[in-house]
Amino acid sequence: MIINIAIDGPAGAGKSTVAKAAAKELGYIYVDTGALYRAVGVNALREGLNTKDAQAITGSLEKITVELKFENGSQQVYLNGSNVSEEIRTPAASMAASDVSAIPAVRSFLFDLQRDIAKHNNCIMDGRDIGTVVLPDARVKIFLTASPEVRAKRRYDELIAKGADVDFKKVLEELIERDYNDSHREIAPLKPAQDSVTVNTDDLSLEQSINMVVSVIKEKLQ
Ligand code: DC
């Protein structure tokens, strides 16, 4: 039987790092659904579209293809046949992804792709609405969270390590704006599923967060 695990939570809670490590330990594939929304956002930026313009963004979906491929166990995202896995990680792409993700047509455009991967693979899927909408029957649901300041500090350190020239206050402001957008949109807003386990990583190191999540999963799978 296929086993699906949902990990949802706000930006910068450590979902991708924690989910990736947990998937490796369990021998499952790791699916980062944010990458899909980021690819749609990057397409809008490339086309010079207003990322909040639902009509323009909906129209742009007719001409694009978004695919996920798993190469050597790691997820790669393709937009119109080319690999955009790096390009989707900029702060501009983060905000564009948050904007386009509030548009119903974008969510339905990406829905089947996510469902299809989960149907055929044991996976840990991370996002905002995995436990609530995409995989309501997931065997384990985790809501991974931390305070905005702690999350912004992690994001800031990550960007600095990549050599980006960023300002902490700006990173924090953008994160708070994205939290607001993601949790107040009408469709599939970010919220814990009723049957999820919340893990707050404020006082946990990365290693402790991974251990905590892996132990919640193992306990629930028993
Ligand atoms: O997880 P992330 O930061 O890469 O996600 C980028 C944006 O995509 C996020 O701000 C909201 C949106 N998103 C979503 O609406 N639903 C998901 N399942 C995953 C991401």
User: What is the mean pLDDT of each successive set of 10 residues along the chain, which is 222 residues long?
Assistant: 97 92 95 98 98 98 96 92 96 94 97 97 97 98 97 93 93 94 93 97 94 97 94
For ligand 1, atom 9: residue with the closest CA: 98
pLDDT of residue 73: 78
40 lines ligand 1 (CB under 6 A): no
Residues whose CB is less than 8 angstroms from the CB of residue 82 and which lie 6 or more positions away in sequence, other chains included: none
Give the separation between CA 143 and CA 176, rounded to whole angstroms: 18
131 lines ligand 1 (CB under 6 A): no
Place of tokens 């996002």: 127
For ligand 1, atom 11: residue with the closest CA: 98
CA of 218 from ligand 1 middle (Å) equals 26
Q: What is the CATH number of domain 4-221?
A: 3.40.50.300
11 lines ligand 1 (CB under 6 A): yes
9 lines ligand 1 (CB under 6 A): no
pLDDT of residue 219: 97
Give the separation between CA 124 and CA 133, rounded to whole angstroms: 15
CA of 127 from ligand 1 middle (Å) equals 6
Give the separation between CA 15 and CA 7, rounded to whole angstroms: 7
- Burial of residue 214, with CB atoms counted within 10 A of its CB: 0-12 exposed, 13-18 middle, 19 or more buried: middle
pLDDT of residue 216: 97
Which pTM value belongs to this model?
Answer: 0.94
For ligand 1, atom 6: residue with the closest CA: 34
